Chain A
Amino acid sequence: MKDRQTDKIYDKAIKIASAQMNYKAGPLMEEKLVKMIRKRKIISAIYKIGALAVIVLAVFLIGSEKLSIAKVHSPSVASETLNSSELSVESADNASNVQQPNTANSSEDEQDPFFKMMKYVSIASDGNWLTGW
């Protein structure tokens, strides 16, 4: 009884295997199967490593973006950042030398509210571009 069941399972497995990998009964089949298993194992491992790499890369990218731990910059970008930091340091050093026209000769205590607002808006605004392009 058990043998019949085993035969049925074997036949079914043979059918599936023949459909999927051209299985044909023969003396070297087991060897072929072992080779196939090894091959599949290697492919499976590659897929797993690939998936893991994608996850790690995603976490790294998202993590660095949100926490700004590390950002991947190209050399030109790095030099851009360097220039901007140099500029900010330079501007801090020369702060006393930089002329600030908006603050010149202002008596803050007795300043007209309109004049004061004008001055602030002039500092904050980089232009009035209300019309169409």
Chain B
Amino acid sequence: MKDSISLLYQVIDMKTTDSRDLRLLCFFASLLSFYVVFSPVLVFSDGYYVRLVYETSKNESFMRSEEVYESGDVKIVTVTAPERFTWVKVKNKWYIGDGTTLYRTYPIKDLLDIATEYVKANQLDISRDGTYKFCEEAFTLEIATINGEIAKIVRKVGNVVTTMYINKFPKQFDIKNLLSKYTLVDKVTIPEEFFKVFSLFLWMNVTEKEGTIKCSGYDMEGSVLELEINKTNGDIKVDGYYLKVIKASEKTLKEIKNALRNS
């Protein structure tokens, strides 16, 4: 009889153990599903990245490599090629320079900012791994995601194709400590009127030759827009600089004139 009792208790005890195991299994399974579901969101926001940007048009090609530290509303980008300099974004202010002193500048947006803004603005779902292509009148945007993160972005504006490869690496860093290495100067060196003019470009490239900088690109409607800025002569004088419109659509030309009305 004792044997029977012990056998019975063993069975009952095993049943209890099984349910405990089952609960444990469920706990770990839910923990794993939580990680799988939410990890891309958590990983997406902050981190350390190395990025490569290739830009090609009919006549020329361009390459940029950079290191990015991002945490909260602070972003520190060190461009290593074609020239070495740093730009920083703190909340809604941008600073740039080639030393430890960085000067306030107008908003800088890289292809990742553009892509994420586009996705958010259009409430698009790119959470599944794959390649997504979005076509607009003035441009096309292609976003490839791997492990829930954007790994590659391709944008085409006119005949300019910009491709960004994003590689995220695990790295421990203190963003405040990194930021403390730089002195941020709030004084704006670019005339405000130029801010308004540059905001008319959808995409812009700058070349410098004999004291003249040439800004060539496309306006918001995808039409060609070319400007020249120098210190000696031009159509409109702005704070010691002259601006000359080389090529612009009628609409954009009006907008440029409106932006520089007080000059």
Q: Which residues of A contact B (CB under 8 A)?
A: 6, 9-10, 13-14, 16-17, 20-21, 23, 29-30, 33-34, 36-37, 40-41, 43-44, 47-48, 50-51, 54-55, 57-58, 61-62, 65-68, 71, 73-74, 77, 80, 84, 87-88, 91, 95, 98-106, 112-133
Q: Kindly name the residue among B144, B146, B157, B215 whose own CB sees the greatest number of chain A CB atoms within 10 A.
A: B146
A68 touches B169 (CB 8 A): yes
Residues of A within 8 A of B12 (CB): 13, 16-17, 20
Number of B residues contacting the other chain (C-beta, 8 Å)?
96
- Across the interface, which residues of A come within 8 angstroms of B29, CB to CB? 54
**Is B4 touching A10 in the complex (CB atoms < 8 A)?**
yes
Residues of B within 8 A of A116 (CB): 98
A20 cross-chain contacts in B, Cβ below 8 A:
12, 15
- Does the CB pair A120–B85 fall under 8 Å? yes
Write out the residue numbers on chain A whose beta carbons fall within 8 Å of the beta carbon of B169: 68
Q: Is B178 an interface residue (CB 8 A)?
A: no
11 contacts between A and B (CB under 8 A): A30-B3, A30-B4, A48-B21, A54-B29, A68-B169, A74-B129, A80-B152, A87-B54, A119-B206, A128-B203, A129-B117
Question: Given A17-B8, A54-B28, list of 6 further CB < 8 A pairs?
Answer: A16-B8, A17-B12, A48-B21, A103-B83, A105-B208, A120-B96
Q: Known: A102-B206, A102-B207. Contact between A29 and B4, CB under 8 A?
A: yes
User: Which chain B residues (201-216) contact chain A, with CB distance < 8 Å?
Assistant: 201-211, 213, 215
Contact indicator B204/A128 (Cβ below 8 Å): yes
Cβ-neighbour of B82 out of A13, A88, A100 (below 8 A) = A100
> What is the CA–CA distance of A54 and B26 in the complex, to the nearest angstrom?
10
Contact residues of B with A, CB < 8 Å? 1-5, 7-12, 14-15, 17-18, 21-22, 24-25, 28-29, 31-32, 35-36, 39, 43, 52-54, 60-64, 66, 77, 79, 81-83, 85, 87, 96-98, 103, 105-111, 114, 117-118, 121-122, 129, 136, 144, 146-147, 151-152, 155, 157, 162, 164-165, 167, 169-170, 189-190, 198-211, 213, 215, 220, 229, 231, 241
Cβ of B109 and Cβ of A17 under 8 Å apart?
Answer: no
**Least Cβ distance of B62 to chain A in Å?**
6
